[in-house]
Amino acid sequence: MMRWVALAAVLASPVSAGTLEGRLVTFTVETWDVRETPLLAARGRTVTVGQGVEFGLDREGFTAGLDVVPVNVEIGPTRIELSYPKGIGRFYESRFNGYVLRFETDCALFENVAIDPAGTSMKVTEVWAEAGALFINVSGLGYGPQSTLALDLEVADCPLS
């Protein structure tokens, strides 16, 4: 009898079966040569992943000569898509200049991250995961209204926090 109660408790607990849907995520823009001393750490924004565009960032004002490039970020159950609705230019070049998405979780959320070449026009080569965080380096790359980046993710079965 106790086994059935334990099984019922496990089945009733909220689990995200390999999806980002419903997860709390904080999106920030960071620029650094040395991670511990960033040149820019933009104001983070936190939302729950759902339908439509989760983040629509615009310029925030210059900090140490750097500013945020307007970007839209749409997060699906196992995919993240970025687009650049305003302006044309080139990202400041540094060891890391890009995006950090930190998902609220106590486990290693990402089992695999892959750039989707069919949905990506930018030459992004450096994307990595650390526990519940995803880092996307766009340092030195060009951007504009035709620029896109699509990531396909293999998401672990981590409980929602």
- What's at 59, amino acid-wise? R
Amino acid 149: pLDDT: 97
Q: How far is CA 133 from CA 28, 110, 160, in A?
A: 11, 8, 15
Q: What is the pLDDT of residue 60?
A: 67
Mean pLDDT by 10 residues, the chain (161 residues): 40 58 94 93 91 82 74 96 94 95 92 96 95 95 96 91 63
Q: 51: which DSSP letter?
A: S
Which of helix, strand or coil describes residue 146? coil
Q: What are the structural domain ranges in the chain?
A: 16-155
Residue 64 has what pLDDT? 67
User: What's residue 8's pLDDT?
Assistant: 39
**Burial (CB count <10 Å: 0-12, 13-18, 19+), residue 61:** exposed
pTM to 2 decimals? Answer: 0.84
What is the per-residue pLDDT for 12? 41
Instruction: Please tell me the predicted confidence (pLDDT) of residue 10.
Output: 38
Report the alpha-carbon angle 144-147-152, nearest 5.
150
Q: Write down the residue that tokens 């380096």 correspond to.
A: 137
